[in-house]
Amino acid sequence: MRAAVLHGPDDVRVEEVPDPVGEVLVEVRAATTCGTDRKMLRHGHRILGAYPARFGHETAGVRADTGERVLVSDSVACGKCRPCRAGRPAICRAPTWVLGGFAERIAAPDAALHAIPDGLDFAGAAMAEPLAACVHALTRGSDAADVAVLGGGTIGLMLARLLVLDGREVLVCDRHGERRAQAEAMGARAADALGEHDLVFEAVGHPAAWEQAVAAARAGGTVVLVGGCPAGTTVALDTGPLHYDEVDVRGAFHHTRAEIDRALALLGAGDVDWRALAGPVVGLAELAGALQRPTTGEARKLVVDPSR
Ligand SMILES: [Zn+2]
Ligand SMILES: [Zn+2]
């Protein structure tokens, strides 16, 4: 089969490789991309393992054995570690990662597979992976009515949509007018300045944005840090709000099996319009170039169709 194989930083080659080996073989119909794929291409990633490596972690397709339409989750929690036993599999210490969606086929443990609701396209189903991370991030927040999302990328827009569905007053802060327009189309307000709020989600993944998000929280407020910064990054936080104002600062990482099913249901019901976040469809050969192109304008995910 053909697969996009990473051989080193910025070195991806489409190659003929043996079929992957694992519990269930899935024929990939759509794999969507996100900022993590750009990072993996540019300088590797802690979960990639040694080169040559496969990537692509938002994957939907058809089970080779039963023909069932499935989303392939990018991980399976171990179920045994301390966070797993405490009911927090999102921060499992020993997850099995399931990467390699940018290929004609992917092998996955049965526990990584989720049935796709009838009527939901493969590209929309693939987006259940990032949407599940947003479902998870909301559980890390509070029930405050006045909420801001810093960053109008695909994650910021998904967070905003979930908060709108939950009946909150949502402001999306982004300097790109195109992304502000996307946020407004999802029912949020949009601005290029953050202001002060009771609940702030950071969805940029940059130390300066983390600091800005914490500074935007009102006394007694909550900040949820969703965007990942490179390992080893440090941020400088004013101790005043953390102590005197009791501002809660929390991380949000990954998702649980139930959150993926919730995301699939939201996409299947049309509550989250995945088409508004879908960009061009590309084949494996076009993937590297498309990922290396600078991202400007609207926030949209590439849809990789390995049969092209
Ligand atoms: Zn992703
Ligand atoms: Zn675990």
Identify the pLDDT of residue 66: 98
Q: How far is the CA of 11 from the centre of ligand 2 (A)?
A: 32
Q: Give the Cα separation of 165 and 159 in Å (integer).
A: 10
Tell me, rounded to whole angstroms, the distance of Cα 27 from its chain centroid: 22
Q: Which two tokens stand for residue 133?
A: 């991370």
Residue-wise pLDDT for 51-60, tens only, equals 999 999 999 9
Q: How far is the CA of 140 from the centre of ligand 2 (A)?
A: 19
Q: How far is the CA of 222 from the centre of ligand 1 (A)?
A: 25
Identify the pLDDT of residue 306: 98
Q: How far is the CA of 242 from the centre of ligand 1 (A)?
A: 31
Identify the pLDDT of residue 44: 87
Q: How far is the CA of 6 from the centre of ligand 2 (A)?
A: 28
Angle between helices 128-139 and 154-165 (to 10 degrees): 60
- The yes-or-no verdict on residue 199 having pLDDT over 90 is yes
Residue 103 DSSP symbol: B
pLDDT band at 295 (very low <50, low <70, confident <90, very high): confident
Q: How far is the CA of 97 from the centre of ligand 2 (A)?
A: 12
Identify the pLDDT of residue 267: 98
pLDDT band at 119 (very low <50, low <70, confident <90, very high): very high
**DSSP bridge pairs for 96:** 76
Q: Are strands 11-16 and 53-54 parallel, antiparallel or unpaired?
A: unpaired
Q: How far is the CA of 302 from the centre of ligand 1 (A)?
A: 11
Which residues fall inside 5 Å of ion ligand 1, going by CB? 34, 36, 130
- Put simply, whether the predicted model's pTM sits higher than 0.95 gets the answer yes
Q: How far is the CA of 260 from the centre of ligand 2 (A)?
A: 17
pLDDT band at 110 (very low <50, low <70, confident <90, very high): very high
Q: Give the Cα separation of 222 and 198 in Å (integer).
A: 6
Q: How far is the CA of 290 from the centre of ligand 2 (A)?
A: 35
Q: How far is the CA of 56 from the centre of ligand 1 (A)?
A: 8
- The yes-or-no verdict on residue 43 having pLDDT over 90 is no
Out of 176-180, 222-226, 244-248, 291-295, least confident range: 291-295
E-assigned strands of the chain? 2-8, 11-16, 24-32, 53-54, 58-63, 69-72, 75-76, 96-97, 105-108, 113-115, 146-150, 169-173, 189-191, 197-202, 217-225, 248-251, 278-282, 301-304
Q: Which two tokens stand for residue 142?
A: 């509070």
Q: Give the Cα separation of 140 and 222 in Å (integer).
A: 9
Q: How far is the CA of 189 from the centre of ligand 1 (A)?
A: 25
- The yes-or-no verdict on residue 118 having pLDDT over 90 is yes
Distance between first and last Cα of the chain: 13
Identify the pLDDT of residue 254: 97
Residue-wise pLDDT for 58-107, tens only, equals 999 999 999 999 999 999 999 999 999 999 999 999 999 999 999 999 99
Residue type, 6: L
Identify the pLDDT of residue 294: 85
Q: How far is the CA of 33 from the centre of ligand 1 (A)?
A: 6
Identify the pLDDT of residue 296: 82
Q: How far is the CA of 125 from the centre of ligand 1 (A)?
A: 13
Identify the pLDDT of residue 49: 86
Residue-wise pLDDT for 223-249, tens only, equals 999 999 987 899 999 999 999 999 999
Q: How far is the CA of 77 from the centre of ligand 2 (A)?
A: 5
Residue-wise pLDDT for 128-152, tens only, equals 999 999 999 999 999 999 999 999 9
Q: What mean pLDDT is predicted for residues 191-211?
A: 97
Sheet with 53-54, edge to edge strand ranges? 11-16, 2-8, 53-54
- The yes-or-no verdict on residue 166 having pLDDT over 90 is yes
52 upstream amide cis, omega within 30 of 0: yes
> DSSP assignment of 289-300, as one string?
HHHHSPP-SS--
Q: What mean pLDDT is predicted for residues 30-34?
A: 97
- Looking at all shown ligands, the one closest to residue 78's CA atom is 2
Q: How far is the CA of 244 from the centre of ligand 2 (A)?
A: 36
